Homo-oligomer: A and B are copies of this chain.
């Protein structure tokens, strides 16, 4: 048996980038500027180049579309069903991340004519490829990784914080978590756990229409717990 040339798939990284916009959970989609599915909405993404890892590719594509540095990209799926692209053989590696809307500057990437945030419950009826499936899985992955409490390992990137800015009030954080996981949770218990495990107060307050709220930031690292 000797080495011969197999047919090779194109390999793409697709990114499900979530943001919080006025209390709604949104996902970034781009309008495709190339065939196939020209003009349809799709997840941002692109083909992997020979001198980068797939994760680096995802980070690059995200940066090209949003200007946001692609840290905390979490790989959650691989889509390789034959025929998922009508004309070529394409395998997609899917990543999920979360970004703070305020620091996003939407740009059109190389293959995208436009980029837009969509409410996850008001997606376009038609999406390119199998991106409907991917988004469904992405939301689940977001839940699994954004969810901070409830038996969560402490070593994984925690996406919920990335939806917010550098500093935030406890209510803002709780609202973010509740939007992601769907259900409500007890204010006092939430604060207790989240302050104890993740946060430090900044000293500043965020003044709103009512009583000012203390601001918190993500504590750098719990020095040396578990191993």
Contact = CB atoms under 8 A, between A and B. Distances in A.
Contact of A34 (B2, B35, B50, B89): B2
Interface residues of A, number: 32
A1 interface: yes
Report how many copies the assembly holds: 2
Interface string A42-79: 00000111111111000000000000000000010010
A9 interface: yes
A198 to B, nearest CB: 18
Given A8-B11, A34-B2, A110-B1, A80 B54 contact: yes
Interface string A102-138: 0000000011000000000000000000000000000
Given A8-B10, A53-B80, A54-B80, A3 B91 contact: no
A208 interface: no
